[in-house]
Amino acid sequence: MNEKRAQILATALKLFVTNGFHATPTSKIAKEAGVATGTLFHHFKTKEELINTLYLETKGEMTQSLSTKVEEQETIKGKLRQIFFNAIHWAVNHTNHQLFYSQFSNSAFISNLTRKLGHQRFQFIYDILKQGQEKEILKPISIDLMFEAIDGTLNGITKYLIEHPEKITDEQCLESAFALYWDTLKG
């Protein structure tokens, strides 16, 4: 990735999380990124394009992390457990990305096309949920609803862990959090 483009994205991430979309002018992003405003607009035609690009790149990084070692698991519960702990580790190690995802995943600033492309990156999770339903392990409800329920649960848990970093190494807390997540899914 182009170094200036990467710097713009990293700066935008920090500023969007800290200040929100409206309170983050492109001039401030460019200044803090150490590039000319023209350079920012060379890489991103609009602020909306910038935030949509950041959203897709965040989803891409998250997806790569979430899928780690999932296929090594033999059971549906094992696969979903792996996704859960991958999500927790990713969120606490990429706090600004997690906060950005939580803050902007339902935002009007994210285009429908970007949202659709981002959602496609989670197709492997949808496939696992569908397999779990076919094996009558998971609740027989809409896969979209189930995905939203676990996404919301994970966002709540990661928010809690980010706000209470001492709990990140508390095995009992993490196991209780997984039990909450699993209870959302199991049939």
- Per-residue pLDDT tens over the stretch 38-52: 999 999 999 999 999
Question: Within 10 Å of residue 162's Cβ, how many Cβ atoms?
Answer: 16
Q: pLDDT band at 1, cuts 50/70/90?
A: low
> For residue 133, is pLDDT > 60?
yes
Ramachandran class of 55: left when φ > 0, alpha when ψ lies in -120 to 50, beta otherwise: alpha
pLDDT of residue 10: 96
List Cα–Cα distances, 13 to 19, 21, 93, 147, in angstroms. 10, 10, 15, 25
What topology is assigned to 46-185 in CATH? Tetracycline Repressor; domain 2 (1.10.357)
pLDDT of residue 119: 87
Residue 167 burial (CB < 10 Å; 0-12/13-18/19+)? middle
Percent of the chain with pLDDT over 70: 99
What would the pLDDT profile of 76-107 be if each residue is shown by its tens digit? Answer: 999 999 999 999 999 999 999 999 988 888 88
What would the pLDDT profile of 4-14 be if each residue is shown by its tens digit? Answer: 999 999 999 99
What residues have CB less than 8 Å from 29, skipping those under 6 apart?
8, 11, 12, 15, 40, 50
What topology is assigned to 1-45 in CATH? Arc Repressor Mutant, subunit A (1.10.10)
Q: Which residue type does 166 have?
A: E
What would the pLDDT profile of 138-160 be if each residue is shown by its tens digit? Answer: 999 999 999 999 999 999 999 99
pLDDT of residue 102: 87
What would the pLDDT profile of 18-70 be if each residue is shown by its tens digit? Answer: 999 899 999 999 999 999 999 999 999 999 999 999 999 999 999 999 999 99
| Burial state string for 123-139 with b = 16 or more CB within 10 A and e = fewer than 16 | eebeebbeebbeeebbb
Residue 138, CA atoms < 13 Å, CB-side half-sphere: 28
Q: What are the sequence ranges of the domains in the chain?
A: 1-45, 46-185
pLDDT of residue 24: 94
Whether the CB-CB separation of 33 and 11 falls below 8 Å is answered with yes
